[in-house]
């Protein structure tokens, strides 16, 4: 097409082909119409300057095709990136689903503490676990704490007993006081999802800090050489069961997320 000497119809044909390439670039790839206008200006300058038209058209043809190739390359890179992100997202989702299912299996062995149809499953199970632990161990622990604790440990013991009552001792409507606000939020219509979610997090954070502190407190007694071996063995059983609850509900992690380690 771009012969050394070009007739007028050949010039028109070359112009038409290059302009169509720009039209395609503009319409299909969203490029600015100013690209075509700039080409027209360069063509008129080439006429005025008596440039080699076959060479001019050849260079312009190569330039617009290279421009489209670059656009296609960018689009393919974007598609590849989106595909990669989508695959990673699916992988992350699958991993998260697997972790969630594994966590669910670990806590299913604990009894439910039912107080509302829409209550968070982890909270229902955690309260059930705490009440079960209370029925088996709390009274004996409280007696031991009071009988064998040092003066330095008194404040911690009193704080732990207060927290235990908040989570396990029936108060209004037979519910522990720590759960009443949450139950009321769930029962209120229209419900405020953000407030409900915030209160759920706070309950889990409080439980994590409390049970973590209780585990540490029992550990202090395990180091007490004055206690009888039989008492130490019982304490070890109680601590192991408590630590299982902490692990099964990932409460050590929650305690760290809450910003405070324990009480």
Q: What is the DSSP letter of 261?
A: S
User: Which segments of the chain have a pLDDT < 50?
Assistant: 1-3
Q: Which residues contact 211 (CB under 8 A, 6 or more apart)?
A: 130, 242, 245, 246, 251
In this prediction, residue 119 carries a pLDDT of: 95
In this prediction, residue 77 carries a pLDDT of: 86
Residue 219: how many CB atoms within 10 A of its CB?
13
Phi, psi of 170 (to 5 degrees): -60, 140
pLDDT in tens, 52-96: 888 888 888 888 888 888 888 888 888 888 877 777 776 665 555
Q: Which residues contact 39 (CB under 8 A, 6 or more apart)?
A: 18, 19, 22, 60, 64
Q: What are the residue ranges spanned by the domains of the chain?
A: 8-93, 121-257
In this prediction, residue 99 carries a pLDDT of: 59
């Amino acid at each position: 097409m771009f012969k050394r000497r070009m007739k007028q119809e050949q010039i028109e044909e070359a112009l038409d082909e290059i302009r169509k390439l720009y039209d395609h670039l503009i319409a299909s790839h969203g490029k600015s119409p100013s690209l075509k206008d700039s080409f027209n200006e360069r063509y008129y300058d080439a006429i005025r300057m008596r440039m080699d038209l076959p060479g001019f058209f050849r260079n312009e043809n190569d330039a617009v095709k290279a421009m489209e190739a670059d656009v296609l390359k960018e689009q393919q890179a974007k598609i590849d990136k989106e595909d990669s992100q989508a695959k990673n997202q699916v992988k992350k989702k699958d991993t998260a689903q697997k972790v969630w299912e594994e966590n669910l299996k670990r806590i299913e062995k604990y009894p439910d503490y039912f107080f509302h149809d829409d209550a968070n499953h982890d909270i229902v199970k955690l309260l059930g676990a705490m009440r079960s632990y209370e029925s088996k161990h709390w009274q004996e622990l409280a007696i031991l704490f009071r009988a064998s604790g040092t003066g330095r440990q008194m404040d911690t013991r009193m704080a732990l007993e207060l927290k235990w009552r908040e989570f396990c001792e029936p108060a209004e409507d037979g519910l522990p006081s720590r759960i009443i606000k949450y139950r009321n939020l769930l029962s209120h219509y229209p419900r405020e999802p953000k407030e409900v979610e915030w209160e759920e997090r706070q309950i889990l954070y409080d439980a994590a800090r409390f049970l973590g502190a209780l585990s540490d407190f029992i550990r202090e007694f395990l180091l007490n050489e004055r206690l009888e071996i039989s008492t130490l063995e019982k304490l070890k059983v109680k601590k192991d069961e408590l630590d299982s609850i902490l692990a099964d509900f990932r409460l050590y992690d929650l305690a760290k997320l809450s910003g405070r380690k324990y009480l």
